[in-house]
Amino acid sequence: MTIERVIKKFTDNNPKADTDMIRLAYEFAEKAHNGQERKSGEPYIQHPLHTAFVLAEIKSDLPTVVAGILHDVPEDTDITLEDIQKNFGDEVCNLVAGITKLGKIKYRGVERYRENLRKMFVAMADDLRIIYIKFADRLHNLRTLESLPENKRERIAKETLEIYAPIAGLLGVWRLKWQMEDICFKYLYPDDFKKLEFKYEVEKKAERNQFFQRVKKIIGQELSKSRINDYQIEYRFKHLYSIWQKMQMKDRKFDEIYDVFALRIIVADVPTCYKVLGILHTIWKPKINRFKDYIAVPKPNGYRSLHTTVFGLDGKAVEFQIRTPEMNEESLYGIAAHWHYKHNSKNNKKGDVEDQPKWVKEILEIKRDNKDARHFVQEIKSSNIFQNRIFVFSPKGDVFELPEQSTPIDFAYAVHTDIGNKVTGALINDKIGALDQELKNGDLVEIVIDKKRPGPSSNWLKSVKTKHAKEMIKKNIKSPIFDRIKNYFAKE
């Protein structure tokens, strides 16, 4: 990796940017790391260069790329944060300081590991750009795992799958998430990885390309008839770890996972997205319950797109994703791309609180309630923060975000604690549903309450998924049973 490649990648996304600071940071870091080598034997400066290149790839801003080059300087050399501040300013210094505070996860004891994870979450809540630098740093370390002993490779890979990859998904940085997961998959399950890679790269590649060209030709002809000329059609093959997970969870073979292959249609604006959707459904019959409108109701991490699965050529089920160029960038790079489009003024600091998603606030709440690092990390892992989210509607049209597998009780507590405490039933899409029934994305839920109900049932704790519902149930069943019964009959 060279500094010229880093600058070229950064200017591809920021043509008018002044890149002098990037080059100065490189010269500064190269001098500081002079004589240092990585375990692989290559000069240490290669690591910060690769880190900075990944940051430039995901459209990070100038201070973040500069901090990526400098991120190991205070930790591994005689250069101090004061030297960084003096040469590169407060913003870059604060980002480098955030990474330095995280320290290195040494894998020398569970307590050190937990404390580092706690620091990582706290630093992320202060400025999300810090965790982007940590992602880029981790990705390059994963790419060079072969130079480490086997036990360290396994520990790093497991930790990445457990912590880093889910956070990347929450931030919508799918490009980094996929790469981290597939590398970890390679080291943790080498035999399964090789088998799946063979099917992907050898057995199915020619067939896949041929199928794509046939579909692309048909779609192109129909779009031209509708005078839609500004478009791109591309395809993606789901990353190997994702396919393997589905095979494990659903006990299916590779050929039975029908959505491993997806076509993406990128058009100029939102109205055209919906127009293309109509065209696709005219050409091929859509698969029931496989349509998702993430434009009208985006995912919690900001992801927007139309998804539909149709019975396409040869009766084969094919997933289509329809989106604008901006949505496509955000689907790959997450909040970093969102900032790239949103912030054009130098006065806007990327990473501020108003730009942070809802789940970051949940992490801060867990931090406040768990001062001890061990309990903090346990709570993070056991919470629903890392789960996929669904959107559920109230009869008034209000949208509530919940983790997958949530129940009407979770929904009731999301509406209001009093509603949750007094819930006795639920209508799901105008049909009577069970209180422990799993809700689906887009469900319309109406809660039935009994104002005289003394409080929640302890049995609810077996089915609820949200942290808030669990806490409120525990809190409101603490009073003695006889007092609750007495209060219940006293009101009659």
User: Is 76 noted as a catalytic residue in this protein?
Assistant: yes
Indicate which residue of 4, 42, 75, 483 is catalytic. 75
User: Is 111 noted as a catalytic residue in this protein?
Assistant: no
Q: How many CA atoms within 13 Å lie on the side-chain side of 473?
A: 21
Q: Which residue has the tokens 């597998």?
A: 405
Give the DSSP H/E element, type plus range, for residue 426.
Answer: strand 423-428
Instruction: Return the sign of the alpha-carbon dihedral for residues 254, 232, 273, 165.
Output: positive
From first CA to last CA, the distance across the chain in angstroms is 77
Indicate which residue of 30, 76, 83, 293 is catalytic. 76
The residues, ordered by sequence, that sit 6+ positions from 402 with a Cβ below 8 Å of its Cβ are 389, 390, 391, 392, 410, 411, 414, 439, 465, 466
Residue ranges with strand state E in 430-469: 431-433, 445-449
φ, ψ (nearest 5 deg) of residue 94: -65, -40
Q: How many CA atoms within 13 Å lie on the side-chain side of 364?
A: 12
Measuring CA to CA, how many Å separate 51 from each of 23, 131, 196? 15, 12, 29
Q: What is the DSSP string of 210-241?
A: HHHHHHHHHHHHHHHHTT--SEEEEEEE--HH
Q: How many secondary structure helices (H) and strands (E) does the chain include? A: 23, 11
Give the DSSP H/E element, type plus range, for residue 49.
Answer: helix 46-57
Question: Annotated active-site positions, please?
Answer: 75-76
